[in-house]
Amino acid sequence: MSESSLSFAVTVNPSPRTAQQRAAILEKPGFGVHFTDHMVAIRWDKDTGWHDAQVMPYGPISLDPAAAVLHYGQEIFEGIKAYRHADGSVWTFRPEANGARLQRSAARLVLPQLPVDLFVESLRQMIAVDAAWVPDQDEASLYFRPFMIGDEPFLGVRGAQKASYYVIASPAGPYFAKGVAPVAIWLSTDYARAAKGGTGAAKCGGNYAASLLPQQKAQEQGCSQVLFLDPVEGRYLEELGGMNVFLVYGKTNTLVTPALSGSILEGITRESILQLARDRGMNVEERQVSIDEWKDGVSSGQITEVFACGTAAVVTPIGQLKGEGFSVGDINAPAGEVTMSLRKELTDIQYGRLPDRHGWLVRLG
Ligand SMILES: *Cc1c(COP(=O)(O)O)cnc(C)c1O
């Protein structure tokens, strides 16, 4: 029997939220605050491989205090959404890409590789029990947070020989409660999020731990996110703490994003935006982009729009870039046309309002 044909034992939550409680949460879900009634857990150990796949009531997990994750940060995660279409059906977006990325992250963090079809099945299992938690308002979704930890109780420094994979899910409202509005971002020159040869390309909690202090400094400067430069020369754009970044050269119909450098996270939204831009005949460039190119291009008017993208906020216009002693752009200018039309096209595909011409959607329920 292949590991991916593991069957799930289902324990239904004996005291789920009532329909009324759920409706109150779904009316104003926020982001990452409320969780559904169930979760998925799958165990792994070196001798048995993947086993003991379960759907169980959402609740605390118990860890040995010596578990590897608590000491050496052996953790990876994913972020992927379920979207409700107008006919009530529930779909997700490019889950094989997330499953493959989880495997690449696992390889870097010396965690076991979850078969991609088991990853997709784990999302389907969640929807089988918690479909009622997929909101139906415009721009709302159910955000899945699959993650994996090394939980062998052992303080020696090596990859854990025991690991657990979990999926939890959280209803998410529209990221921008008052409509999509440009944000200001802060250029971090004192900190990098990832090192050359480090874990920047893996989706792991450790990268986020390293970004919290610069993120806090950005917020102190009135910025909602931080922009990181390459860790070697401190000259080329990498990404925001949790989103990839794009520049639009309006006059030449060109879309530019930093090439994957080994320390940039390979966003699935990034790749999808690149495809949609190519489809509409834009010139698309993945290359090194210096911070001076951004500053000069915005000042000269060649760069007409800048935006960030990721699963959680989809596409976010960047109105202003600020840093030590400088500021470019105008936070009060309206969101750019190219930004908003790429955003609309992507969300229209995800919500089933446009044909899925690339076969990106997978039905979950
Ligand atoms: C998850 C993530 C992104 C965005 O990836 P998507 O697949 O588009 O959601 C970008 N940067 C970092 C650091 C991330 O963790």
**Residues 207 and 342 placed together within one structural domain of the fold:** yes
Same domain flag for 120 and 211: no
Nearest-atom number in ligand 1 for the CA of 239 is 11
Say whether both 166 and 189 belong to one domain.
no
pLDDT at 1: 42
Assigned domain for 324 exists:
yes
In whole angstroms, how far apart are CA 106 and each of 111, 150, 317?
A: 5, 10, 32
| Residue (of 65, 311, 361) closest to 203 by Cα position | 311
| Statement to judge: residues 195 and 294 lie in one domain | yes
CB of 243 closer than 6 angstroms to any ligand 1 atom: yes
> Is 358 inside any structural domain?
no
Q: Looking at the domain assignment, is residue 353 inside a domain? A: no
Q: Which domain holds residue 115?
A: 3-172
- Taking the C-alpha atoms of residue 38 and residue 3, their distance in angstroms, rounded to an integer, is 23
**Distance of CA 348 from the midpoint of ligand 1 (Å):** 20
144 shares a domain with 165: yes
Which of 244, 264, 268, 275, when mutated, tests ligand 1's pocket best, judged by the most ligand atoms within 8 Å of its CB?
Answer: 244
CATH at residue 107: 3.30.470.10
pLDDT at 174: 84
136 shares its domain with 23: yes
For residue 4, the model assigns a pLDDT of: 55
Whether residue 258 sits in one domain with residue 227? yes
pTM more than 0.85: yes
CATH number of 328's domain: 3.20.10.10
316, 308 contact by CB (below 8 A): yes
Q: What is the pLDDT at residue 252?
A: 97
3 state SS of 345: helix
181-203 residue pLDDT tens? 999 999 999 999 999 999 999 99
Helix (H) or strand (E) holding 51: strand 49-57
What local confidence, expressed as pLDDT, does residue 2 receive? 47
β-pairing, 183-188 vs 225-229, is parallel
Spans of the chain, pLDDT less than 70: 1-4, 177
Is the CB of residue 307 less than 8 Å from the CB of residue 317? Answer: yes
Ligand 1 pocket member 273 (CB < 6 A): no
Neighbours of 333 (CB within 10 A): 12
**Residue 19: per-residue pLDDT:** 98
pLDDT of residue 176: 73
268 touches ligand 1 (CB under 6 Å): yes
Shared domain check, 149 and 26: yes
